[in-house]
Structure 1
């Protein structure tokens, strides 16, 4: 009788432990999903800056993406030597890209930049699936405007993940080359690097925007540019992505900091020249 009761007690304790573990994992995954959503899709309202502030004319575009309307700008270059579809980073909108648009435009590139769902004045709620749909909708409008002009994809920061994810799922999205500026390796790596999750618990972070895995399916030439003083995504992340890509070229320069990529030349005061030269050089022959 005592032996049977001991066995029942042990079984009860084991089942209780298993139940506790299962509940803990489920709760942790839900928390991880919520944190992923909040930290990854940090949106920004549309500011007042436009390309006309730097003397450049542009087309204001509405893009239909499923049940929502996205906002975009198209900045054509006279006698364009190429055209670039931009995938911007988190906590950004079209207005943050005015100085970058000027740099690209001055090198003879037509520029198409759009705001993802929930960013700027674009409708909808951001998610991996929504941004994947946004990418294809933007690409369709981009191609309709540039015709047979040489084309490129430019992803910056989180935009590198959005871009690679889209290319992995939409085989019709093709271009002459892909440029990844300050790429992350994966959202899980970012979470570990920032200290928000311990490596042993990284499974609670959704394995989304895994550029290391996604880049393996890209057959287009890939140019990766990263700064030693990025301050947000360490160089090893770019190296990890470059190593996984069959046809990637990695350029590592000394500046700028991660958040300075979109600053004006005057604000940078010489910092970031090599970075931008590498980005532009990947899309132009000059």
Structure 2
């Protein structure tokens, strides 16, 4: 009987170890969901578009799209979420162009045909390369826009290079908080390699911050987004009836209006 119990325990321990090991080894496949290339030329997407190449601190050359506006009131660095590529963010760029704002659509390493594999450290380098490009354009004002996972990217960037304003769309307090909601059976905090501690960064910011989130978000619970707004002493804008990937949270009036307001109009 005792031998049978020990064998049973050994089987359970082995299964748990395999599950946890797989979760640790393949977690980035669950976090980062890139779409590849090739992509069209930026000018074929919007008439003002320019294809640009960003060179990161570790030597990668990343493709991006820049949509300038003459006499722009501000330039906006758009850091996307964890899925797709920059082509999905064109409606946002077009809407912001319409409000007199130049826009840089960044694709991280591993996204949109770019070389490399995504990681928290890598995305931080990608964002710095994007900021460096926009600074060279000498904009009147510089804003950061982060979408979901991108909120972790731009808040970290803002602690080192503060912008004139920051819009966070559907932010989370940290990646573990989201993971715990979707994988309650796993010790997410112990397993995560990439953490994106958005609230921790937000507490250190001294720039205007607006948080826009869906009131019925099923991916990032709304209370996490509100907590980020509180941490940043920022303004929170709830979009009634909106889920995480609804079009209204891509280029809807609340999102575009939040960016335009920080740009001064």
Give the TM-score of the pair, scaled to structure 2.
Answer: 0.84
Q: Could you tell me which residue of structure 1 aligns to residue 3 of structure 2?
A: none
Q: 1:161 to 1:108 in 2, by over 3 A?
A: same
Matched, 1:280 2:259: yes
Change (3 A) 1:118 1:48: closer
Q: Any residues of structure 2 matched to 1:219-234 within 5 Å, and which?
A: 219-234=206-221
Given candidates 146, 149, 169, the residue that maps to 1:181 is 169
Deviation string for 1:248-282 (max 9, x for gaps)?
A: 111112043221247887xxxxxx43x23543343
Query: Does structure 2 retain, via aligned residues, the 8 Å contact 1:58–1:75?
Result: yes
Distance 2:134 2:211 in 1: 22
Offset of residue 231 of structure 1: 2.5
Aligned residues: 255
Deviations for 1:174-222, whole angstroms, at most 9, x for unmatched residues? 211111011122211111111x233766422346112111211222111
The equivalent of 2:118 in structure 1 is 126
Moved over 4 A (4+): 23-30, 47-55, 262-265
Whether the aligned pair in 2 keeps the contact of 1:190 and 1:233 (CA below 8 Å) is yes
| Alpha-carbon distance between aligned partners in 2 of 1:72 and 1:200, rounded to the nearest angstrom | 36
Counterpart contact for 1:223–1:248, Cα < 8 Å: yes
Structure 1: any 5+ residue segments left out of the alignment? Answer: 1-12, 266-271
Deviations 1:124-172 (A, max 9, x none): 1111111111111111111101x1411100000111112223334xx2x
- How large is the Cα RMSD of the aligned pairs? 2.8
Taking structure 1 as reference, are residues 208 and 202 closer, same or farther at Cα in structure 2, changes over 3 Å only? closer
> Which of 74, 78, 86 is matched with 1:94 structurally?
86
